[in-house]
Structure 1
């Protein structure tokens, strides 16, 4: 027989485990949920809570849809009163068109028409839902002027253009860089190629200078640059300063560069000399204006963009009501309200006297009746659409509730069976612990 270890330790461990399981089962049976804390099912808890937020959102959406339907019904019932007033006004205009009436009779009819117009305005101004006016919402557009400058073509101007530099003196064997000038390309750029040509004079026995051009982005074109003067004519289409750069004039007295669709900004022209004759001369020519403080001046013709200031009118309609008909952002249903006042219906100035005004009055009333009929038809389509949306929301809520119940609700029959099992195991563990304690008494008898 052992003292420090006996079967009672195992039995006690099983007793504690069974007691823990029994408490979990009691929690599930008392709450009706199989997930009472995150430890029960962490993933299931996250899914369930998302479903619950959707379900509660759908419940509120149902209430919103019902409120929206009530608002539409209020507007429609008020427009029904407007319809009746317009029909009565039409009857009076038809009556006034009869030549059996005298001018005084028509004046009496006009008084009733004025009362009808007041009634229509009263309906429009007093129809509200929760403080929101439904039938006196202005529908006229608001005009906002917006001015912008657009390019409508090109125009030709004459500018003073320095074309000839002074003589540049250089020392043999020493590299010199002389900035000969720069060209400003406007924004937006002129839709024409940029042409730059350097004229170095005779090449007999001379080590003449070279021309480099630097774009506004810092790209270099010319000697030992992306365009290598290894032949008399080269093209480069991989640069970012123009669609295509062309170099010509290698081993010649003149060097020329052409840039198709150049970018806007300042293009620098640089004359490079690395030795040779004591002095060299050069001239610069371009189809753009060249800026240089050393030059004599002449005039050239340049093409630049021609712009025009245009004012546009932007029309803005009143903001519609947005009904929140779903559980998430963006689940909106737009309701455009109506202006049913006499000014909006164009009947505020109708008269039946003199007789010549009766035809115009009848035409305006017919147009007003047609407009109100269209508005009531619009509200009818709104109500039908909201009924369909309500059915869909109710069905979605029912299905989500069922899914959430399957995920979170406890299986009561299963948990009751587990409860009985745990109770039996717990009682068995208690009985075994009592038996083991009695067996330990033998040790005391041996010691005695």
Structure 2
């Protein structure tokens, strides 16, 4: 056996292994104290990249969950207003039934006064029901025609359900040919035409997303021409006959920029001027219970108004159900993504404790062996005596 004093190979070997044990011990201490298997990019580069992506998705889904909760709160506020409007319509039905009977006699004046007060209250609730300063019951998330043109459209006796839901925002112009009865609608770039006829019909400018219906009372050619020329003269024949504004109210309920990660909510208007008979221009704000015939006509209008309000409430219920399922799905997604992120990034404490114990023992043994290795060259002193 060679005995050297210039280079203590045994000590170097012990020192190298002691360094390995110490580094492993420090790594275990870091993981045990932080709870993470990955604390630095060097610990697991690919795992860190995947876990960071999961973390971003989880954070986004937590916000999406709050968005869904706020959307549900909005719908609850809207339903509360609609419930009161429905109750008032039921009362209007009672009053109309009473006024439609001969025995009502001179009481119809008082009955009509109460009815008109209820109609005003319906409008007040519809226009004052808000969420975050946004009206909910006047056509929330829907597109609408400018008020001037809409007022003129409402005045047409034989036209109803003028719908611009599918139209792009902007200005539109009608032109009408009295010879061919062709009504043309243009947005300045695209044009679409329909041919007006007598009777109850539905007309759709499919290219532009605009439609309307006519009643059976449109029974002469003269009335058809009056309707066509009236539409062409909307807004005092200005630069445009009507303008469309508004957009759908969209809630982000996912972490991606796609339609599947969004929910659009549209609530129909339940103002007095927008609910009522579906086959004429009569609406709740047109009812008059001061006469027996007026009360009898009002019975049908009120029934249709109740149907309109029930449909609006049904839409709210459908949105609420969708949000409930969406919220549950978000919660499950967060749970699963968190589990996936945990598998990649979190430390297994039991395994890490075993590694820590092993490294601790190796370090203690390494220190002891290093001390022994450092004493080996002293044996050479025995030869020098």
> Residue 351 of structure 2 aligns with which residue?
414
Which structure has the larger Rg over C-alpha atoms? 1
| TM-score (norm: length of structure 1) | 0.60
> CA–CA distance in 1 between the matches of 2:249 and 2:262?
9
> CA–CA distance in 2 between the matches of 1:113 and 1:318?
32
Correspondences of 1:359-378 after superposition (within 5 Å)? 359-378=296-315
Assess, with a 3 A threshold, how the Cα gap between structure 1 residues 114 and 136 changes in structure 2: closer, same or farther: same
Does residue 1:54 correspond to 2:57, yes or no?
A: yes
- Asked if structure 2 preserves the Cα contact closer than 8 Å seen for 1:69 and 1:383, the reply is yes
Q: How many residues align?
A: 287
Correspondences of 1:179-194 after superposition (within 5 Å)? none
Assess, with a 3 A threshold, how the Cα gap between structure 1 residues 121 and 429 changes in structure 2: closer, same or farther: same
Does residue 1:71 correspond to 2:108, yes or no?
A: no
> Residue 278 of structure 1 aligns with which residue?
none
Correspondences of 1:294-373 after superposition (within 5 Å)? 316=244, 318-330=246-258, 331-345=261-275, 346-373=283-310
Give the SS at the match of 2:102.
coil
> CA–CA distance in 1 between the matches of 2:40 and 2:250?
39
Correspondences of 1:108-123 after superposition (within 5 Å)? 108-123=110-125
> CA–CA distance in 1 between the matches of 2:47 and 2:11?
38
> Residue 442 of structure 1 aligns with which residue?
379
Structure 1: gaps of 5 or more residues: 151-310
Residues 128-150 of structure 1: CA distance to partner in whole angstroms, max 9, x if unpaired? 22222211237644652334599
- Asked if structure 2 preserves the Cα contact closer than 8 Å seen for 1:147 and 1:312, the reply is no
Q: CA deviation at 1:399?
A: 1.1
Give the SS at the match of 1:65.
helix
Residues 97-126 of structure 1: CA distance to partner in whole angstroms, max 9, x if unpaired? 111233x41110111012211221221122
Counterpart of 1:144 (choices 172, 177, 182) is 172
Q: CA deviation at 1:68?
A: 1.1
Q: CA deviation at 1:318?
A: 3.4
Superposition RMSD on alpha carbons, in Å? 2.3
Assess, with a 3 A threshold, how the Cα gap between structure 1 residues 149 and 69 changes in structure 2: closer, same or farther: closer
> CA–CA distance in 2 between the matches of 1:314 and 1:115?
32
Q: CA deviation at 1:405?
A: 0.9
> Residue 178 of structure 1 aligns with which residue?
none
> Residue 132 of structure 2 aligns with which residue?
130
Residues 307-354 of structure 1: CA distance to partner in whole angstroms, max 9, x if unpaired? xxxx99998573121111112223110100232211222211211123
Does residue 1:395 correspond to 2:306, yes or no?
A: no
Q: Which moved more, 1:119-128 or 1:406-415?
A: 119-128
> CA–CA distance in 2 between the matches of 1:321 and 1:121?
22
| TM-score (norm: length of structure 2) | 0.70
> Residue 103 of structure 2 aligns with which residue?
100
Q: Which runs of 4+ in 1 moved over 4 A?
A: 311-317
Correspondences of 1:142-291 after superposition (within 5 Å)? 144-145=172-173, 146-147=187-188
- Asked if structure 2 preserves the Cα contact closer than 8 Å seen for 1:48 and 1:407, the reply is yes
Structure 2: gaps of 5 or more residues: 147-170, 174-186, 192-238, 276-282
Structure with more of its chain in helix, by fraction: 2
